[in-house]
Copies of this chain bind each other. A is one copy, B any other.
Amino acid sequence: MKSRKPRVVVVGAGFAGLRAVRQLARNPVEILLIDRNNYHTFIPLLYQVATGFIAPEQIAYPLRRVLRRIPNARFLMAEANYVNFDRRVVETDVVNVEYDYLIMATGARTRFLEVEGAARYSFGLNTLEDAVRLREQILRCFEEAEHQSDVDITQQLLTFTIVGGGPTGVELAGAVVDWVQGTLCRNYSISAPVRVILLQSGDRLLAGFPEGLSRYSNRQLSRRGVRVHFQTRVRSVAPTGVTLEDGTTIETATVIWTAGVEAHRPDTTAEVPTATQKKVVVRSTLQFPEHPCAYGVGDLAYVTQDGEPLVGVAPEALQQGTTVAANIKRQLQGRAPLTFDYFDKGRAAIIARNAGVAYLFNKISVRGFFAWFLWLGIHLYYLPGFSNRWLVLVSWIRDYLTKYRAILHIFGFKKITLSNNLKDKKI
């Protein structure tokens, strides 16, 4: 029976998984890519979907279109529930799949840190659905605020609270402020000021960047109207607001949780060793310690470089995808897998219109217009799909010139309910 080509099963079509599939194209293996969605999500632009820049289709690339050009790959839309290392089987909600080599690349999900109410009442920003829900929530708050007669409820509806001062929190805060000032305040007649609040547990924003860039980010956000609070931890989240550790309460209808992620992966036969954020500790070759034919890559894997853990950005995942594909090819040829070696070209974050920060090759700090432009260029380059790239570019140019973002739709294909009881309304 075993006359067929070895089968490589890739679970997760994020940056790492998809790169591995592409690198294994036209090799003597049969590839099966499994994902719960039939598209690849370009996560770095999620915040732009959440703030009306671009439509969700533009950062969601259909996997069947990718695989059409890879004759030795197939796709299975399924949720992987369990990995049986002993029998080499991935159990999904539709079928069980045998593998010869396994690449686990199921990524991360929002980590709510066991804060009471956070998982239930706050919005995450990890999936395309999160992004669309958040956009619709913000728009609904404006729709509601316009015909609200109670001043307190209006202020609650127009207060947007972001928890977490990492890149996602900073990018989102800036994008929300730009959106509100450029588009929403032109379209809605609202009687209260819009408040965007950014809560950071540490004493600076963008902890992964040099301190000068952190200070610059704070100045830029503050100047644009974001209220940044440092050393502030959230104790609980309720439908009407957040309570901080010092007991103060912020009345807010929208809480966006960007304070960290944790590995999100199927259960496995044997317990695998895990590190912080539930990440799986893999060997330096990215293999699971006890299972040399199974690899863990991307946000689910705990990988160190020069003694420091990787932080979970797209370039790390992409390079891991390349390494894991090379290692499987080596195993097929009877050679030993190689150690993963991350080449860090740098990191960048966008703050708002004309303002970004970048830290290149671990030594050069860049900020302002150039860093902003660099960020946009890099992400446009990496965005999959020619027409997506082109549509996103047109959206950006239009937004830049008109300060008006066109996507204002509340589809509500999945209904979200505003988290307060709105009464006493008249018009």
Are B76 and A147 touching (Cβ within 8 A)? yes
Of A151-159, A160-168, A235-243, A403-411, the one with at least 4 CB within 8 A of chain B: A403-411
Within 8 A of B (CB), among A369-427: 387, 391, 394, 398, 406-415, 422, 425-427
Whether A12 is near chain B, meaning CB under 8 Å from some CB there, is no
Whether A94 is near chain B, meaning CB under 8 Å from some CB there, is yes
22 contacts between A and B (CB under 8 A): A38-B408, A39-B408, A39-B409, A55-B55, A56-B409, A60-B409, A62-B408, A64-B187, A65-B406, A68-B186, A74-B189, A76-B147, A76-B427, A94-B147, A94-B422, A95-B425, A96-B427, A132-B413, A391-B391, A411-B413, A413-B413, A414-B415
Are A426 and B95 touching (Cβ within 8 A)? yes
Whether A361 is near chain B, meaning CB under 8 Å from some CB there, is no
Are B129 and A97 touching (Cβ within 8 A)? no
List chain B residues, Cβ under 8 A from A186.
Answer: 68
A95 touching B409 in the complex, CB below 8 Å, given contacts A64-B187, A187-B64: no
- CA distance in complex: A410, B64 (Å): 12
Are A97 and B427 touching (Cβ within 8 A)? yes
The interface of chain A, by Cβ under 8 A from chain B, is 32, 37-39, 55-57, 60, 62, 64-65, 68, 74, 76-77, 94-97, 128-129, 132-133, 139, 143-144, 147, 186-189, 387, 391, 394, 398, 406-415, 422, 425-427
List chain B residues, Cβ under 8 A from A188.
Answer: 64
List chain B residues, Cβ under 8 A from A57.
Answer: 55, 407, 409
A233 to chain B, nearest CB (A): 32
- CA distance in complex: A62, B143 (Å): 13
Contacts A38-B408, A55-B55, A62-B407 known; 4 new A-B pairs at CB < 8 A = A76-B147, A95-B427, A391-B391, A413-B413
Are B62 and A409 touching (Cβ within 8 A)? yes
Are A129 and B406 touching (Cβ within 8 A)? no
List chain B residues, Cβ under 8 A from A406.
Answer: 62, 65, 387
Residue from B129, B391, B415 within 8 A of A411 (CB atoms): B129
